Amino acid sequence: IDMSSTATETPSTMKAVVIKELGGPECLKLVHNHPTPQLRPGHAIIQNQYAGLNFIDTYFRKGLYKAALPFVPGQEGGGTILAISSDDNRDSTFQVGDVVVYGTLGAYAQYTLVPVTQLVKVPQNVSLDIAVSCYTQGLTAHYLTTSVHCGMLQTNDWCLIYSVGSGTCQWAAQMAKIQGYKVIGTCSQSKAAAVKQVGACDELIVLKEVEGMSYSDYGSVDIVGKVMDITNQKGVKCILDGVGKSTVDISL
């Protein structure tokens, strides 16, 4: 989402998406005169250019994750430091005008108050839209493919990654391949062509979609049988499962 504005100092009000009651997407309301956050110690005000859309945003909207009403949703954003608290401004790490990304609540707005500890500078050779789009999902995929398996997964070992046509696991499949793992991926029929174009999976298990829905039917294919055939009955050293309920028994 492009959240850019042209202000050179913090205005008193801003445009923001505000949630005043919990529920479905209809609870997302665009407000044109929402109070702009006030600068506090240890924080910076970011003039947003982009906000990221992530599945966790729906958890806050529905109330599964708690936030005091009313609130501005969005857990990922990026833009320019418009103001920074005086103590933190003496730290050369961040200065007014720096281009940054962050992960903290309140990104669906023109301005967001962000703890300085949550800021990450964007390298000059990376565009801001790319930096924002890869921040949450990219970092998640990185630790999933480098840390979670605690070194049990080594070069040329097989791993299984569900839902490689979507979000974090699309990143994870590519990172796993770069690190030398052999990747078995799953995806729905509608995403198979895009997954094959990326080329991160050594083997791809294509699943039918649940009737009338856009997500995979994990009972439509014998995933266990296919994985065992691919690995010569050895199975895999690591499974990255962002699905859960439909896949836990298959994984075990």
pLDDT in tens, 50-67: 999 998 999 999 999 999
Residue 193 pLDDT more than 60? yes
pLDDT digits (tens, 9 = 90+) for 198-234: 999 999 999 999 988 888 999 999 999 999 999 999 9
Give CA–CA dist 38/224, Å, rounded.
Answer: 54
Is pTM beyond 0.75 here?
A: yes
Q: Does residue 244 surpass a pLDDT of 70?
A: yes
The span from the CA of 117 to the CA of 75, in Å, is 15
Task: Tokens for 223, please give them.
Answer: 């995933």
Q: What angle do CA 136, 142, 145 make, to 5 degrees?
A: 140
Q: What is the rounded CA–CA span in Å between residue 171 and residue 222?
A: 25
Token pair, residue 1, equals: 């989402």
Kindly state the average pLDDT of the residues 101-123. Answer: 96
Residue 154 scores a pLDDT above 60: yes
Strand order of the β-sheet with 182-188 is 203-207, 182-188, 158-161, 238-240
Cα–Cα distance, 187 to 125 (Å, whole number) = 32
Q: What's the pLDDT at 91? A: 57
* Mean pLDDT in residue range 11-29: 97
Confidence label for 41 from pLDDT (cuts 50, 70 and 90) = very high
Half-sphere exposure of 4 (CA within 13 A, CB side): 6
Beta-carbon contacts of residue 204 (< 8 Å; ≥ 6 apart): 164, 184, 185, 186, 187, 192, 195, 196
Residue 129: pLDDT above 70? yes
Q: What pLDDT score does 71 carry? A: 98
Average pLDDT of the chain is 93
Is the pLDDT at 4 greater than 70? The verdict is no
Mean pLDDT of the 109-136 span: 95
* pLDDT of 90 higher than 80: no
Determine the distance from the C-alpha atom of residue 84 to the mean position of all C-alpha atoms in its chain, rounded to a whole number. Answer: 26
- Structure confidence at residue 9 as a pLDDT band (50, 70, 90): confident
Using a 10 angstrom Cβ sphere, with 0-12 exposed, 13-18 middle and 19 or more buried, the burial of residue 153 is buried
Residues in the chain: 252
Q: How far, in Å, are 49, 93, 181 from residue 89 at the CA level?
A: 22, 8, 43
